[in-house]
Amino acid sequence: MKNSACFCILILALFLGSPNPSIAQESNDLNIYGFTQVLYTHRMTDYTISGGAGLDYDYSQSFRSTSFSLHQVNLFFQKPINDRTTFFLNLEASGSYSSRTPSGYLEIPEGWISYRFSDALEVKAGLLLPKFNNLTEIKNRLPLFPYLIRPILYESLIASVFKSEDFRPDKAYLQLTYFKPISANYIIEGAIYLGNSEDSFLAREETTDINDLELEERTKVYLGEDLNTAMLIGGRVGIENVLNTFKFGISGTFDKDNKNRIEYSVFSLPELQTPILGEVPRYRIGLDLSFTINDKIAFESELLSAFHNHRQIHENPAYKYADLNKFYQYLNITYNFTSQYYAFGGYSISKDNTYEFVLNDSPDAAGLLGYTVGGGWKVFENTAIKAQVFHGRSGQNKNLDYKVTFFALGLSTVF
Amino acid sequence: MISGLNTFTLLLSLSLVQPNEAQQIDSIAVIISNKVEQAPISREVLLNIYTLRIQNWDDGTRIRVSDYKGDADIRNQFYSYLGTKVKTVQKIWLRAQFTGRISPPRMFYEQKDILNEVLENPGTIGYIPFSAVPEGVHILLIINHE
């Protein structure tokens, strides 16, 4: 309660201390801006788990809900420290955040300082969203998207289905970016970054969780400490038009996938579990392509693949056919009828082979498919009303039949 | 006295040229404060400034972009010269703002406010009708009506 009060006072002080952005300011003023998205959803979920493949289980459930929510509020604090140095903080509250109810969450997904050596070369240090494909850096900037419910890998409403880090990096701590003009309108851009291993390596308790009581008593760790000496190394190379009418890039990361604990299937099939496989070297590769045609049609797509080095795993005959690789694909097309009205349609697919060697025809390998259509009306320059139907389902599979449909109506405002 | 006369002339010229009225601006002057050391720029550099790729002037001063609010004729004419549209540039700005790359561009309804911003904050770039250019600013580029 005391923390919440302090937080409110801080926000109020920042607002009161910030002049209206439309009137002249000193160039080093603190800039505060952000966005909100209010959402109404009607959700229909149906799933049936059958007892095939030795699973002694049969279960069906249907669930319906209708809900309003303050889907997301983001406050950005941007402070130019001098002509080349900038501080940036992103404060995000999601799912009608309340510590009283409780609901939603409040987090700081970004807080960094950048230094520009030149227009082309910049370094960022701090918690940041790395450059990986087109979407990762803007995954939580909802007003930039035509839709309300994002593709399956980015949407918090279906985040519980799988770990997004299995497919793409979530954060980094040091990033160097560079661009070079290759013509009047095109540039080549590049980035390299470093970060922690995936979140599952981070300490959630002030112990090491290493199953060695004597060592654990002597080795205290702090919450959030990366309990691993490996790091995330990533980068991106791309070409884009300065007017953003064309963008293509290749992204990649190298890190370790944490298979030190028993994991359950993304669809939580009872009694299905994978063995402990240790820390598995992993490469995540991404391709993204987006372009617009005459300001009428906007095309956006990406491919992601997570490749694992299975050499050590395959040395154990029991795991000879283990395959932890994953695949994700996304495509969306938006048609602008006028500058105010638009319609869109798209799909996204994820597939995960991890459980296939434990259970033939595992639901994960069949994949999760998401289809969507919708439209929007830009009421004012910074305000849009959006409507969307999203349907997600498991791929053809004898063990699981899972369907979820969202009807969503939302209001998105930039301030 | 001369200074007072100049001010009167400036205010008169500003009041006569209102960008929100439907009219064709003969020539547009792209300007910055003369406190910044900066050579004239090309269309390509101007495009890269307004799409936020170039963020510092030659002397290292941070560039601040100013622009008109709404659907001013001068605004449409300016972006037409750059080969793009207001909406396209707004999308680029929004993404750059949201990713922390830039401070939000300063937006004004009146050209006198743009002029004040340019004069008071060295580093700010703006554009006004050529006929309204006062002393104290550098003209970086003149856009002639085609």
Whole-number Å distance between alpha carbons of B119 and A350: 55
Partners of residue B106 in chain A, C-beta under 8 Å: 21-22, 24-25
**CA of A332 to nearest chain B CA: how many angstroms apart?**
18
Q: Which of A244, A295, A412 to mutate to test the interface with B (most CBs of B within 10 A)?
A: A244
Comparing A18-32, A297-311, B66-80, B83-97, the range with the smallest average pLDDT is: A18-32
Distance CA B108, CA B114 (A): 6
Q: Which one is predicted more confidently, A334 or A55?
A: A334
Nearest residue of chain B to residue A20 (CA atoms): B106
Amino acid B17: pLDDT: 43
Mean pLDDT of chain A: 86
Answer whether A24 sits within 8 Å of B104, measured CB to CB.
Answer: no
Q: What is the pLDDT of residue B10?
A: 40
Within 8 A of B121 by CB-CB distance, chain A residues are 24-27
Work out how many CB contacts closer than 8 A connect A with B: 99
Q: Across residues A3-18, what is the average pLDDT? A: 45
Predicted confidence at residue B1, as pLDDT, reads 36
pLDDT confidence tier of residue A221, bands split at 50, 70 and 90 = confident
pLDDT for res B66: 95
Report CB contact under 8 Å: B53, A137.
no
Choose, out of A122, A132, A243, the residue to mutate when testing the contact with B (most B CBs < 10 Å): A243
Model-level pTM? Answer: 0.84
Contact residues, chain B, for A81 at CB < 8 Å: none
* Residue A315 burial (C-beta neighbours within 10 Å; 0-12, 13-18, 19+): exposed
B114-135 pLDDT per residue, tens: 999 999 998 999 999 999 899 8
- Evaluate whether A392 touches A369 at the Cβ level (below 8 Å): yes
Higher per-residue pLDDT: A261 or A405: A405
Residues comprising chain A, all counted: 415
Is the distance from CB of B128 to CB of B113 less than 8 angstroms?
A: no
Residue numbers of A between 392 and 411 with CB closer than 8 Å to B: none
Q: Average the pLDDT over each of A22-31, A71-80, A124-133 and give the range with the smallest value.
A: A22-31
Answer yes or no: do B84 and A243 touch at CB < 8 A. Answer: yes
B117 contacts in A (CB within 8 Å)?
Answer: 24
Q: What ipTM did this prediction achieve?
A: 0.82
pLDDT band at A223 (very low <50, low <70, confident <90, very high): confident
Pick A397 or A31 by higher pLDDT: A31
| pLDDT tens digits along A268-278 | 666 667 788 88
Q: Is A191 exposed, middle or buried (0-12, 13-18, 19+ CB in 10 A)?
A: buried
Measured in angstroms, the CA of B39 and the nearest CA of chain A are apart by 17
Averaged over B87-114, what is the pLDDT?
90
Q: How close, in Å, is residue B65 to chain A by CA atoms?
A: 11
Give A35→chain B minimum CA distance, Å.
Answer: 9
CA distance A57 to A322: 24
Q: Are B85 and A124 in contact (CB under 8 A)?
A: no
Q: What's the pLDDT at A159?
A: 64
Q: Residue A232: helix, strand or coil by DSSP?
A: strand
Which of A20, A78, A112 would best serve as a mutation to test chain B binding (most B beta carbons within 10 A)? A78
- Give the whole-angstrom CA distance, residue A411 versus residue A33: 17
Dihedral of the CA atoms A139, A141, A145, A148 (nearest 10)? 90
Query: Which residues partner with A406 through β-bridges?
Result: A43, A390
Residue A167 near residue A213, CB atoms below 8 Å: no
Q: Which of A143, A242, A245 sits opposite B53 (nearest CB)?
A: A242
How close, in Å, is residue B100 to chain A by CA atoms?
6
DSSP letter assigned to residue B127: E
Cα–Cα dist A254/A233, whole Å: 5
- Is pLDDT above 80 for A63? yes
- Which chain B residues are within 8 Å of A86, Cβ to Cβ? 100
Average pLDDT over residues A53-77: 86
Q: Give the number of other CB atoms < 10 A from CB of residue B139.
A: 13
* Over residues A223-227, mean pLDDT: 79
Contact B100 A184 (CB under 8 A): no
Residues whose CB is less than 8 angstroms from the CB of residue A98 and which lie 6 or more positions away in sequence, other chains included: A104
Using alpha carbons, list the distances in angstroms from residue A271 to A147, A317, A359, B146. Answer: 37, 22, 11, 74
Q: Does B145 touch chain A (CB under 8 A)?
A: no
pLDDT for residue B13 is more than 50? no
pLDDT of residue A160: 65
CA angle B63, A248, A378 (to 5 degrees): 65
Q: Which of A162, A171, A178 is nearest to A140 (CA)?
A: A171
Residue A51 pLDDT grade (very low, low, confident, very high; cuts 50, 70, 90): low
Other beta carbons within 10 Å of A119: 16
Please compute Rg for chain B using Cα positions: 15
Q: For B46, which residue in chain A has the nearest alpha carbon?
A: A184
DSSP E strand stretches across A25-154? 31-49, 59-80, 85-98, 103-116, 121-128
Look at residue A10 in the predicted model and tell me its pLDDT: 43
Edge-to-edge strands, sheet with B106-108: B106-108, B64-68, B124-129, B27-33, B137-144
Residue B92: predicted pLDDT: 93
* A344 contacts A334 by C-beta, under 8 angstroms: yes
Which residues 118-137 of B have a C-beta within 8 angstroms of A? 120-121, 123-124
How close, in Å, is residue B109 to chain A by CA atoms? 9
- pLDDT category at A13 given cuts 50, 70, 90 is very low
Please say if the pLDDT value at position A128 is more than 50: yes
Between A325 and A357, whose confidence is greater?
A325
Rounded to the nearest integer, the mean pLDDT of chain B is: 83
pLDDT band for position A74 (cuts 50, 70, 90): very high
Tokens representing residue A272 in the block = 């299905």
